[in-house]
A and B are shown apart, each in its own frame.
Chain A
Amino acid sequence: MNHSVTEPSRLQKWVAGILVVGYALVTIMPLAWIIATGFKSPADAIAYPPKLVYEPTLEGYVNLFTTRSRATPETLAQLGPPQTWYDAIVRQYDMVISGPSRYGERFLNSVVIGFGSTFLSIFLGTLAAYAFSRFRVPLKDDLMFFILSTRMMPPIAVAIPIFLMFRQLGLSDTHLGMILLYTAVNLSLSVWLLKGFIDEIPVEYEEAALIDGYTRFQAFYKVVLPQATTGIASTAIFCLIFAWNEYAFAVLLTSGTAQTAPPFIPTIIGVGKDWPAVAAGATLFLVPVMVFTILLRKHLLRGITFGAVRK
Chain B
Amino acid sequence: MTNDNTSRDPATAPAGLRRRIAGLSDRTLAFVFIVPTILLLLAINIFPLIWTIRLSLTNYRANRANEEIEWVGLRNYQRILTDPDIWNSMQATAHFLIWTLVLQVLIGFSLAYLINKKFRGNDLWTTIIVLPMMLSPAVVGNFWTFLYQPQIGLFNYVVAFVSGVDPASFSMIGDVRLAPWSIVIVDTWMWTPFVMLICLAGLRSIPDYIYEAAEVDRASRWRQFWTITIPMVLPFLMLAVLFRGIENFKMFDLVVQLTGGGPGSVTELTSINLKREAFEKWRTGYSSAYAIILFVTVFGLASIYVKALNKVKER
Residues of A within 8 A of B163 (CB): none
Say yes or no: is A176 at the interface (Cβ < 8 Å to chain B). Answer: no
A131-149, CB < 8 A from B: 131-137, 143, 146-147
Residues of B within 8 A of A23 (CB): 111, 129
Per the bound structure, the CA–CA distance linking A141 and B24 in Å amounts to: 24
Say yes or no: is A77 at the interface (Cβ < 8 Å to chain B). Answer: no
With CB as the reference atom, state the residue of chain B lying closest to A188. B41
B213-235, CB < 8 A from A: 215
- Contact status A301-B127, CB under 8 Å: yes
A6-37, CB < 8 A from B: 6, 8, 12-14, 16-17, 19-21, 23-24, 27-31, 33-34, 37
Residues of A within 8 A of B123 (CB): 297-298, 301
Most chain A beta-carbon neighbours within 10 Å: one of B44, B189, B250, B278: B44
Residues of A within 8 A of B66 (CB): none
- Contact status B144-A156, CB under 8 Å: no
Per the bound structure, the CA–CA distance linking A37 and B145 in Å amounts to: 14
Say yes or no: is B257 at the interface (Cβ < 8 Å to chain A). Answer: yes
Per the bound structure, the CA–CA distance linking A21 and B114 in Å amounts to: 10
Residues of A within 8 A of B212 (CB): 4-6
Please pick, from A5, A131, A286, the residue contacting B33 in the complex, using a CB distance under 8 A. A131
Most chain B beta-carbon neighbours within 10 Å: one of A157, A251, A263, A300: A157
- Contact status B37-A125, CB under 8 Å: yes
With CB as the reference atom, state the residue of chain B lying closest to A34. B143
Per the bound structure, the CA–CA distance linking A266 and B308 in Å amounts to: 41
- Contact status B40-A187, CB under 8 Å: yes
- Contact status B23-A215, CB under 8 Å: yes
B252-303, CB < 8 A from A: 252-253, 256-257, 271, 274-275, 278-279, 284, 287-288, 291-292, 294-295, 298-299, 302
- Contact status B197-A135, CB under 8 Å: no
Please pick, from A33, A137, A184, the residue contacting B154 in the complex, using a CB distance under 8 A. A33
B234-256, CB < 8 A from A: 236, 239-240, 243, 246, 249-250, 252-253, 256
Query: How distant is A213 from chain B, measured CB to nearest CB, in Å?
Result: 8
- Contact status A16-B143, CB under 8 Å: no
Which of A65-73, A79-87, A97-105, A302-310 sits within the interface?
Answer: A302-310
Supposing A159-B278, A160-B284, A275-B146 touch, asked if A24 and B128 sit within 8 A by C-beta, the answer is yes
Which of A47-55, A56-64, A88-96, A227-235 sits within the interface?
Answer: A47-55
A185-239, CB < 8 A from B: 185, 187-188, 191, 199, 203, 207, 210-211, 213, 215-218
Residues of B within 8 A of A301 (CB): 123, 126-127, 130, 197
- Contact status A191-B37, CB under 8 Å: yes
Say yes or no: is A111 at the interface (Cβ < 8 Å to chain B). Answer: no
Interface residues on B, range: 35 or more
Say yes or no: is A152 at the interface (Cβ < 8 Å to chain B). Answer: yes
Say yes or no: is A271 at the interface (Cβ < 8 Å to chain B). Answer: no
Residues of B within 8 A of A188 (CB): 41
Residues of A within 8 A of B45 (CB): 150, 153, 158, 184
Residues of A within 8 A of B111 (CB): 20, 23
Say yes or no: is A270 at the interface (Cβ < 8 Å to chain B). Answer: no
Per the bound structure, the CA–CA distance linking A305 and B116 in Å amounts to: 15
Query: How distant is B112 from chain A, measured CB to nearest CB, in Å?
Result: 10
A and B contact pairs by CB, cutoff 8 A, 8 listed:
A47-B152, A152-B302, A165-B48, A183-B40, A216-B10, A245-B138, A266-B142, A279-B146
Q: Which residues of A contact B (CB under 8 A)?
A: 4-6, 8, 12-14, 16-17, 19-21, 23-24, 27-31, 33-34, 37, 46-50, 124-125, 127-128, 130-137, 143, 146-147, 150, 152-165, 180-181, 183-185, 187-188, 191, 199, 203, 207, 210-211, 213, 215-218, 241, 244-245, 247-248, 251-252, 261-263, 265-266, 275, 278-279, 282, 285-286, 289-290, 292-294, 297-298, 300-301, 304-305, 308-309, 311
Given contacts A265-B138, A265-B142, A297-B127, list 18 more A-B pairs with CB under 8 A. Answer: A5-B215, A6-B212, A12-B117, A16-B114, A20-B129, A30-B189, A37-B146, A48-B151, A48-B152, A128-B34, A130-B33, A134-B1, A147-B38, A150-B45, A159-B278, A162-B44, A185-B44, A215-B24
Q: Which residues of B contact A (CB under 8 A)?
A: 1-3, 5-6, 8-10, 15, 19, 22-24, 26-27, 29-30, 32-34, 36-38, 40-41, 43-49, 51-52, 55, 62, 111, 114-115, 117-132, 134-140, 142-144, 146-147, 149, 151-154, 157-158, 167, 189, 194, 197-198, 200-201, 208, 211-212, 215, 236, 239-240, 243, 246, 249-250, 252-253, 256-257, 271, 274-275, 278-279, 284, 287-288, 291-292, 294-295, 298-299, 302
